[in-house]
Amino acid sequence: MARSLRILFTTLMALLLLGSCSQQETPIPLSDKQVVALLDELFEEELQLSPEYMTYLGMRERYDEWDDLSDAARDQRLEMTKRHLAKIKSIDPSSLSATARLNVQMFIEQSEQAIAGNKWRYHNYPVNQMRGVHSMIPSFLINQHLIANTAEAEAYIGRVRNASTLLDQLIEQLEIRAQLGIVPPKFVFPKVIASIDNILTGAPFDNGAASTILTDFSRKIAALELPTEQHQRLLDEASDAMLNQLAPGYEKLRNYLSQLQASADDRDGAWKFPDGEAFYNFALQRTTTTDMSADEIHRIGLDEVARIQNEMRDIVRRVGFEGDLQAFFDFTRNDPQFYYPDTEEGKQAYLDQATALIDTMKGRLDELFSVKPKAELVVKAVEPFREASAGQAFYQRPAPDGSRPGTYFANLYRMGDMPKYLMEALAYHEGIPGHHMQISIAQELDNMPKFRLFGGYTVFSEGWGLYSETVPKEIGMYADPYSDFGRLSGELYRACRLVVDTGIHAKRWSRQQALDYMAANVPHSESYNVRQIERYIVRPSQATAYKIGMLKIQQLRAVATEKLGDQFDIRQFHDVVLKDGSVSLSILENNVMGWISDSLNRHATSQQ
């Protein structure tokens, strides 16, 4: 206890010194523990500005609130970031360990990028067919807002009521962007309006069965086993909040979107934004954590497409198919043997098989990893209210306190978009050894500042996810050649993303040009290609993260294999890649090269 008090006292003194450091500009020496304590202090201060993020992390504070979307709140966050950056820059790094210096370096880099990104604060679509506040509200209530007692049930109702303010703020943000000419393309509007209609379908909005939100709330409070009168009171209050606060907020948004639709056009790329070329270059740098240009990324994509298609041709020959690659694509797209029926039984069979694949992989992890996650993983179907526009599959991280497992969501809206031969690759990417492995291990690391535990880089996480699709092949998975074809199909799609994302946003390709390219080069269905291209349009640069990150991990593994020879251990390599959580590609390279050097030095010493 005395030792803990001493650490707390010295940390508080350090904070006081740092508070006055901007005047004296004298570097302040801190211990590693003091640096972590300071970084966590700053993280907690920032966290207080986001009730939603608090809930994502399993906290129950401010449980009836939503984030503030106003410009005033954004300005407040910006000033906080500048103030936090000044504090961290005042630390003297000379006495810190390598790990602590890395913490400081990453905080500075992320803060500086956030400040630089403020220039582009309006260069996005806060409402689109993929995601947005309109679909986040029910998804958040269903998947994040847990109810363990009456107070938390009342907080749920409070969030339903307060959603009307959130939707008003969303309209304000849309109007600001409209004045700047930043309006989503035409195709976005019917899909968003339809999703709003889905949310407002069912009781208490009409005489049908219970709506999505009311169904969720009813199920959660039923588990509390409350007295009948109290149970009914909560149901009545929830229904009232939905009918008199939530519905008017959504109807106002729907009316605004119907008007805004008139000013939409078919220009799809970020080049149409004010200073669009500079914005896209910034977006690529932020997403890939590299200085690669759009042209360079485009060329890499073309080269990778050619390489992967050649590997596919080997499989076509192996299975004895008579015809070229395009004919094989048609065969796998259309033959019923590759699809579960589009029925409730078929969807459940898909979920059962995906769970079985993950369970099998769990039993093989010791061959690839020394460190494994403690958090559990479950497989779920994407909820009906958002399945029509959501991606093919995605992962939701577990709550740090263990109250919620990690979740692999499979989109079973159209079973024709979820072929059996893609199941293995998807399960490995979203589950184990992919996102669940990487994110859960990061959350469970000791002595890691919270901003690193819960933040990260898309290029690392998605690069790891794509790399994780390939690794199981090395231990005998993908025994079915069609599943191996599915693995290559997934990788091919990510290579095509490099081509079409840069094509749309830098080379001014139309939506149809991008769709034509996909139709000519991948085996996926037309409806799947449409959803994906529309995703890239509304999220410039994000799709480039997967292949760029994977290629970097593979490149570093090749270097390690060559330099270490017989000393190379795949388990150690994977542990090094994951040991610091999600990092930029330059930091990842430094970590791997440092491990190679240390391994060579240890081996040389042991031979003396």
* Whole-number Å distance between alpha carbons of 366 and 376: 17
- The residue written with tokens 């570097």 in the block is 27
- In sign, the C-alpha dihedral spanning 416, 420, 422, 426 is positive
> Looking at beta carbons, which pairs linking 300-307 to residues 24 or more positions away fall under 8 Å?
300/498, 300/547, 300/548, 300/551, 301/495, 301/496, 301/497, 301/498, 301/499, 301/502, 301/547, 302/499, 304/491, 304/495, 304/498, 304/547, 304/551, 305/492, 305/495, 305/496, 305/499, 305/521
pLDDT over 50 (residue 7): no
pLDDT surpasses 90 at 447: no
Q: Beta partners for 406?
A: 377
Of the ranges 26-35, 41-50, 470-479, 507-516, which one carries the lowest mean pLDDT score? 26-35
Tokens of 139: 């998804």
Is 537:185 a contact under the CB 8 Å cutoff?
yes
Angle between helices 247-260 and 188-199 (to 10 degrees): 170
Give the Cα separation of 213 and 205 in Å (integer): 11
Q: Which residue has the higher pLDDT, 212 or 527?
A: 212
Q: Across-strand partners of 259? A: none
Q: Is the pLDDT of residue 442 over 90?
A: no
User: Any idea what DSSP says for residue 242?
Assistant: I
16 pLDDT above the threshold of 50: no
Contacts of 376 (CB under 8 A, 6+ apart): 398, 405, 406
Pairwise CA distance, residues 457 & 462, whole Å = 9
- The encoded tokens of residue 232 equal 């009914």
Average pLDDT, the chain: 92
Cβ-based neighbours of 459, under 8 Å, separated by 6 or more: 287, 288, 289, 290, 545, 548, 549, 552, 584, 585
pLDDT band at residue 556 using 50, 70 and 90 as cut-offs: very high
Predicted confidence at residue 403, as pLDDT, reads 82
Backbone angles phi, psi at 327, to 5 degrees: -65, -35
Question: Between the ranges 53-62, 379-388, 558-567, where is the mean pLDDT highest?
Answer: 558-567
Q: Is 20's pLDDT higher than 50?
A: no
pLDDT for residue 116: 97
Residue 25 is predicted with a pLDDT of 60
Long-range contacts made by residues 206-211, C-beta under 8 angstroms, separation at least 24? 211/242
**For residues 150 and 87, what is the distance between their CA atoms, to the nearest angstrom?**
42
Percentage, residues of the chain above pLDDT 70: 96
pLDDT digits (tens, 9 = 90+) for 119-163: 999 999 999 998 899 999 999 999 899 999 999 999 999 999 999
pLDDT of residue 57: 87
**567 burial class (0-12, 13-18, 19+ CB within 10 angstroms)?**
middle
Quote the pLDDT of residue 4.
41
Identify the burial level of 408 via C-beta atoms within 10 angstroms of its C-beta, where 0-12 means exposed, 13-18 middle and 19 or more buried.
Answer: buried
The span from the CA of 335 to the CA of 324, in Å, is: 16
Measured in Å, how far apart are the chain's first and last C-alpha atoms?
Answer: 46
pLDDT tens digit sequence for 338-365: 999 999 999 999 999 999 999 999 999 9
The pLDDT value given to residue 487: 97
Provide the angle, in degrees to the nearest 10, between the axes of the packed helices 294-318 and 276-288.
60
Q: Which long-range contacts (C-beta less than 8 Å, at least 24 apart) are formed by 65-68?
A: 65/158, 65/159, 65/162, 66/159, 66/162, 66/163, 66/165, 66/166, 67/166, 68/169
pLDDT mean over 378-397: 84
Six-digit token string for 362: 């769990």
DSSP secondary structure code for residue 455 in this structure: -
**In which band, very low, low, confident or very high, does the pLDDT at 389 lie, cut at 50, 70 and 90?**
low
Give this prediction's pTM: 0.86
Instruction: Note the helical H segments in 270-418.
Output: 276-288, 294-318, 325-334, 344-362, 384-387
* pLDDT in the model for residue 445: 80
Question: If 0-12 CB within 10 Å is exposed, 13-18 middle and 19+ buried, where does residue 293 land?
Answer: middle
Helix (H) or strand (E) holding 121: none
As beta bridge partners, residue 91 has 28
Write down the pLDDT at residue 1. Answer: 41
Tokens of 70: 């106003």
Q: What pLDDT shows up at residue 151?
A: 98
The pLDDT of residue 454 is: 82
pLDDT digits (tens, 9 = 90+) for 267-326: 999 999 999 999 999 999 999 999 999 999 999 999 999 999 999 999 999 999 999 999
> What pLDDT, on a 0 to 100 scale, did the predictor assign at position 397?
87
Q: Is the pLDDT of residue 239 over 60?
A: yes
Arithmetic mean of pLDDT, 176-196: 96
